Amino acid sequence: MITTLGNDVKKTLFQKSMVLGISIIFCSLTMMPALSAAPLTEYPLPPPQHASMIVEESMFRRMSVRNYTTEPVTDQDLSTVLWAAYGLRADGNRTVPGMNEVFASIIYVLKEDAVYTYNPWNHSLVFYKEGDYRHIVGWQYNAPIQLGLVWDKNISSNQNYAAAELGEIGQNINFMADALNLGTVATGERPSPLENLGLPSNQIGLIIIPLGHPVKPYNFVNFPFWVSFLPRIQKSDMNLTTVLEKRQEKTSWENTTLSKQEQTQLVWSSYGYSNYYDKSDSDRNPVKRHRTVPSAHEYYPLLIYLVNKTGVYRYIPNTYNPLYGLLRDIWFLPVMTGLLKVTDGDKRSDVAQASESFVASAPIIIISVLDVKQTKKPYDDVSGEDFRWLWYYEAGASAHNVLLEATAWNLSGTIVQPTNLSALQSLLRLNEGQVPLILVPVGK
């Protein structure tokens, strides 16, 4: 009996240990790889803050900051800057329009401990690799955070348009950083120091943006233009977060004309000078009047055209421009801004034939044109096709500003790529070295 009972117990124990053994083998084959995959790879960011700065104030204050304190950037501020840069809005759309709604950018976030990428879908940081790469990648300027703007070639094959999208992103980073009392500067080099991160072969690093607290606090003096052929720039009542949330791309418009004030606001936002003087660096640079977009080497080689029912006009951001580059520190020179008529009559359908048909119904079309000779300077010739993306970055920033300013004035527009360059060149009376880059039709 005892023996029989002993055999039964042995049999049961054997069966149990078999089940346990098989279970352990099964678990180790199926679950363990999942458990052993990198610890926690996604780090949720806190919800972004609301920026109450009025959008024209953001444009007045846009400037590059190159010296940062060692004070860390809080996760809260980083979250807000990344959301503005490339985040998702309450309606599911992005905070930037992209180029034809193709979103081909990746933002790398370089922190002290590691490198991450920004995941807009769940507003988190995704671990990429361990180590402090901030000084290797962002060697130009030390900052607590370095943002690497990267073009994903698998999503868009066009480097220039990818750079234009980065220009939109860079602009939002600059505006939001300033609203949080942080500073940034867009930096672009070839080859990009972002290559040190060992990026996948489809990813091309183009722009690095340090982010930190400025050593010299922002110090602006409100000093609007003395003389102007256009009405003075006014502030709307729309703040930065609302504008980023509300921007809508439209391709049809009411058959109305825009007021002179509205047209001035739009064309100014594309490439104009600030109403403010910057005195933050007054020991070295007594005063400086910044423009609404940054420019590599401060070349500002874009020409801006405005087409409406009455004709084609060239925007003159400052009559003294040729001298202003040399004499910008002579602060008492007035900035005289205006529109120069190039052609009489309604040419909007001609512009539409050289781009998209819906452009013909827009009350105004703003066109950025690259004047290649202005990028060919003796100390750094960046006029070649290899560098063309730098100027698309600037044109993307300019076009994005127009869409933000349109939103603030309850207007809307969209970004359009030219399809017939020579037709546009003859319409705008350009020479061969003046290349139309981006069109922005806007209306009600």
Ligand X SMILES: Cc1cc2nc3c(=O)[nH]c(=O)nc-3n(C[C@H](O)[C@H](O)[C@H](O)COP(=O)(O)O)c2cc1C
Binding site for ligand X (CB under 6 A): 63-64, 66, 140, 185-189, 290, 294-296, 298, 390, 393-394
What is the spatial distance between Cα 176 and Cα 154, in angstroms, rounded to a whole number? 29
Residue 79 near residue 101 (C-beta atoms within 8 A): no
- How do the residues of the chain divide into helix, strand and coil, expressed in percent and rounded to 5? 35, 25, 40
- Closest CA relative to residue 200, chosen from 108, 67, 292: 108
- CA pair distance 194, 314, nearest whole angstrom: 38
DSSP code, position 182? -
- Of 106, 82, 177, 189, nearest in space to 141 by CA: 189
Helices (runs of H) and strands (runs of E) counted in the chain: 11, 18
Pick the closer one to ligand X by CB: 208 or 364.
208
Give min distance, CB of 164 to ligand X, in A: 11
The two structure tokens encoding residue 287: 């005063």
User: Between residues 151 and 393, which has the closer beta carbon with respect to ligand X?
Assistant: 393
The distance of closest approach from Cβ of residue 141 to ligand X in the complex, given in angstroms and rounded to an integer, is 7
The pair of structure tokens assigned to 291 is 């423009």
Q: Is the dihedral of CA 342, 344, 349, 350 positive or negative?
A: negative
Q: How far is CA 266 from CA 182, 230, 304, 410, in A?
A: 26, 12, 11, 12
Q: Of 54, 52, 51, 56, nearest to 262 (Cα)?
A: 56
Which residues have a Cβ under 8 Å from the Cβ of 65 and sit 6 or more positions away? 183, 184, 185, 214
- Closest to 395 in 3D by CA, of 428, 425, 424, 368: 368
Closest CA to 176 of 91, 61, 286, 256: 61
Instruction: Tell me how far, at minimum, the Cβ of 163 lies from ligand X, in Å.
Output: 8
By beta carbon distance, the residue nearest ligand X is 294
Rounded to 10 degrees, what is the CA torsion of 356, 157, 107, 442?
-10
Picking from 273, 271, 298, 274, the residue whose alpha carbon sits closest to that of residue 374 is: 298
Q: What whole-number distance in Å separates Cα of residue 252 and Cα of residue 255? A: 9
Residue 284 to residue 274: CA distance in whole angstroms: 20
User: Rounded to the nearest whole angstrom, what is the least distance from the CB of residue 66 to ligand X in the complex?
Assistant: 6
CB 343 → ligand X: shortest distance, Å? 30
Nearest approach, Cβ of 206 to ligand X (angstroms)?
Answer: 8
Nearer to ligand X, 96 or 359 (CB): 96
* Residue 150, SS3 per DSSP: strand
